[in-house]
C-alpha cells in the first residue's frame, strides 16, 4: 500500500507517523517543499528575538530521524505541482518525478496573505509564513535595520512586534481595524493596546495603500499618514494553501478543503488535515477554518488512523488560543461577543477585572470576559493579564462538553493563594451572569 502525504508540517508528519506505526509494512511517502519537516512556525518570533539560537531548534525531529527511526520516505525540497487519480508529480532537484499512491493526504498548510498595495519590486519588505527558512531572512534583515514597520496586529503581528523590539529596534505597527487582535472583543483588546503602546508606535484604523523607495523600502503610506522605515513586515493574516487541491477535491467557503470527521475529502481515498482543511467549530456546530497548531496535530493523527484502516473521528475545535506581549498574557476559547452575535445568538456577557490570586499578593491582575447565550449555554471566554493560561484551559474543557453558566459556577477550581482565589475569576464572572438567566 502506497501512502502519499503532501506537506511535512504538524499534520503531515503526525499522519505519516501514525500510519507507519499502525502499518509498518506500508510505504509512506512525505513530500515537503522546504528543507525542514515537523517544523514549528509558531516559534519563529522567538528565533527572530534571539531567544531560540538555532533555526533547527524549531523542528521537533529532523529528516534523518523520520527516515531511519520511523521508516518514512521523506522527500524534502520537493514541490508537488500535479495530482491525479492514483499519482502525483513532484519537482525534486530540478527534475520531475511521478509517484503512485493508493491513499493521499493533503497537509499543505497555509500561506501568508498579501496586500493590495504593490511592493514586489522593493527590497526590505517581507512576510512571515510557515516556511521557517523565511525566518532566517526576517531576522537578518531586522538586525541591519533600525526603523521597522509591521503591517497587521493579529497573532503574528503582535508576536513579531515584541520580537523585534527586543532586538532594540524602533517599531511601528499599523492595523486596519480599530483594535489589535481584532477577533477579540474591545474590552480585552484595550488591555493589549495599552501594553503595546509602551513599546511600539501603534497606529489603529489605518490602511496601507503604498510603499515608497528607490531600491529598498523607505516609507509606508497609509490612508491617513506615512511612516519612514528601512524594513516592513507584512503580517495581515494567512489563507489556506490549497491551489494544488483545487478541482481535485471540493473546497469550502473558506477556501480550505471540505472534510468529514474522518478527515476524508469529497474524493475516495483522499484526506486533508491541518491548516489546509476545514473542520467543525464545536461551539456553533458549523464547518469552520481553524488554522491553529493543536488542531492541526490532532487532525493529522485522526487522518493517519483512518488512512491505516482503523476508525477515529475528529470532533472539531474551539479555536482555543493564547499568546503574550511582554508580561501580558492574552487568551481566548470559543466565540467572542461580536462573533456570537454574528452567528445569531442572543448574547449575554460579563466582563470583570479582578485578582487572579489572593488579594494580599501584589501582582496578579486579570481581565476576563465570559460570553453566553440567553439560554445559559457558554459560548466563549477571553482573558488578559496574569493566570490567563489556566483559565483558558478550564474554559476549553467546559466548552468542549457544551457546558452552561451554572456548570462554570459550580466547577471545583483548586485554591492556593499565590496562584488562585477562593472565588476564581471564572466563577465570579459566571455569578454575574446568574441574574441574566433567572438565577438569584
Q: What is the pLDDT of residues 149-166, one digit of tens each?
A: 999 999 999 999 999 999
pLDDT at 120: 64
The neighbour count for residue 342, using CB atoms within 10 Å, is 10
- Cell numbers 454575574: residue: 432
Please, what CATH class does the domain formed by 114-236 belong to? alpha beta
Q: Name the fold adopted by 321-437.
A: Enolase-like; domain 1 (3.30.390)
pLDDT value of residue 40: 80
pLDDT of residue 45: 94
Phi then psi for 323, rounded to 5 degrees? -150, -175
Q: Where are the domains of the chain?
A: 2-38+60-110+239-307, 114-236, 321-437
User: Measured over all CA atoms, what is the biggest interatomic distance in the chain, rounded to whole angstroms?
Assistant: 72
Q: Is 276 a catalytic residue?
A: no
- Domain 2-38+60-110+239-307: CATH class, spelled out: alpha beta
* pLDDT > 80? residue 232: yes
Cβ neighbours of residue 236 closer than 8 Å, sequence gap 6 or more: 112, 113, 114, 115, 151, 152, 154, 157, 176
The SS3 call for residue 386 is coil
SS (H, E, C) 324-342: EECCEEEEEEECCHHHHHH
Structure confidence at residue 64 (pLDDT): 87
- For 241-265, letters b (16+ CB in 10 Å) and e give bbebbeebbebbebbbbbbeeebbb
Query: Any idea what DSSP says for residue 153?
Result: -
Q: By CB neighbour count within 10 A (0-12 exposed, 13-18 middle, 19+ buried), where does 224 fall? A: exposed
| Residue 436 DSSP class | G
The Cα-based distances of 138 to 141, 233, 262, 415 in angstroms read 5, 8, 38, 44
Distance between CA atoms of residues 210 and 187, nearest Å = 32
Average pLDDT, the chain: 95
Cell of 325: 506581549
Tens of pLDDT, residues 16-56: 999 999 999 999 999 999 888 988 888 999 999 999 998 88
Among the residue ranges 91-105, 130-144, 394-408, the one predicted with the least confidence is 130-144
What is the pTM (predicted TM-score) of this model? 0.95
Convert the pLDDT of each residue in 87-130 to its tens digit. 999 999 899 999 999 999 999 999 988 887 766 678 999 988 76
Check: CB of residue 171 under 8 Å from CB of residue 198: no
pLDDT score recorded for residue 1: 98
Task: Tell me which residue has cell 531586522.
Answer: 142
Domains 2-38+60-110+239-307 and 114-236 in one fold: yes
> What mean pLDDT do residues 396-422 have?
96
Catalytic hit among 42, 59, 229, 276? 42
Q: How confident is the model at residue 60 (pLDDT cuts 50, 70, 90)?
A: confident
Amino acid at each position: 500500500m502506497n501512502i502519499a502525504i503532501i506537506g511535512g508540517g504538524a499534520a503531515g508528519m503526525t499522519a505519516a507517523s501514525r500510519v507507519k506505526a499502525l502499518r509498518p509494512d506500508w510505504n509512506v511517502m512525505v513530500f515537503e517543499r522546504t528543507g525542514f519537516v515537523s517544523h514549528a512556525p509558531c516559534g519563529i518570533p522567538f528565533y527572530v528575538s534571539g531567544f531560540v539560537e538555532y533555526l533547527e531548534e524549531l523542528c521537533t525531529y529532523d529528516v534523518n530521524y523520520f527516515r531511519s527511526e520511523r521508516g518514512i520516505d521523506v522527500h524534502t525540497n520537493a514541490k508537488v505541482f500535479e495530482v491525479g487519480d492514483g499519482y502525483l508529480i513532484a519537482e525534486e532537484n530540478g527534475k520531475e518525478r511521478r509517484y503512485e499512491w493508493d491513499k493521499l493526504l493533503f497537509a499543505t498548510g497555509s500561506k501568508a496573505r498579501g496586500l493590495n498595495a504593490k511592493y514586489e519590486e522593493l527590497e526590505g519588505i517581507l512576510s512571515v509564513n510557515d516556511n521557517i527558512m523565511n525566518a532566517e531572512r526576517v531576522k537578518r534583515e531586522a538586525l541591519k535595520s533600525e526603523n521597522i514597520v509591521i503591517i497587521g496586529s493579529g497573532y503574528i503581528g503582535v508576536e513579531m512586534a515584541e520580537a523585534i523590539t527586543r532586538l532594540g529596534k524602533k517599531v511601528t505597527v499599523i492595523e486596519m481595524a480599530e483594535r489589535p487582535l481584532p477577533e477579540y472583543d474591545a474590552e480585552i483588546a484595550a488591555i493589549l493596546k495599552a501594553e503595546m503602546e509602551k513599546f511600539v508606535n501603534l497606529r489603529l484604523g489605518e490602511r496601507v495603500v503604498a510603499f515608497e523607495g528607490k531600491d529598498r523600502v523607505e516609507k509606508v503610506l497609509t490612508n491617513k499618514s506615512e511612516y519612514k522605515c528601512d524594513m516592513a513586515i507584512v503580517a495581515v493574516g494567512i489563507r489556506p494553501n490549497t491551489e494544488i487541491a483545487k478541482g481535485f477535491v471540493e473546497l469550502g467557503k473558506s477556501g480550505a478543503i471540505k472534510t468529514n470527521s474522518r478527515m476524508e475529502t469529497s474524493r475516495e481515498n483522499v484526506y486533508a488535515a491541518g491548516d489546509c482543511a476545514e473542520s467543525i467549530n464545536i461551539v456553533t456546530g458549523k464547518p469552520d477554518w481553524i488554522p491553529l497548531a493543536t488542531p492541526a496535530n490532532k487532525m493529522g493523527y485522526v487522518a493517519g488512523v483512518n488512512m491505516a484502516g482503523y476508525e477515529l473521528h475528529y470532533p472539531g475545535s474551539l479555536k482555543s488560543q493564547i499568546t503574550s506581549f511582554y508580561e501580558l498574557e492574552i487568551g481566548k476559547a470559543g466565540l467572542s461577543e461580536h462573533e456570537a452575535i454574528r452567528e445569531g445568538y442572543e448574547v449575554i456577557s460579563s466582563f470583570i477585572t479582578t485578582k487572579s490570586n489572593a488579594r494580599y499578593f501584589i501582582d496578579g491582575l486579570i481581565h476576563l470576559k465570559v460570553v453566553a447565550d440567553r439560554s445559559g449555554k457558554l459560548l466563549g471566554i477571553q482573558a488578559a493579564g496574569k493566570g490567563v493560561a489556566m483559565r483558558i484551559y478550564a474554559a476549553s474543557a467546559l466548552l468542549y462538553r457544551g457546558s452552561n453558566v451554572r456548570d462554570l459556577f459550580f466547577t471545583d477550581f483548586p485554591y492556593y493563594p499565590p496562584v488562585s482565589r477562593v472565588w476564581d475569576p471564572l466563577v465570579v464572572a459566571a455569578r454575574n451572569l446568574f441574574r441574566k438567566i433567572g438565577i438569584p
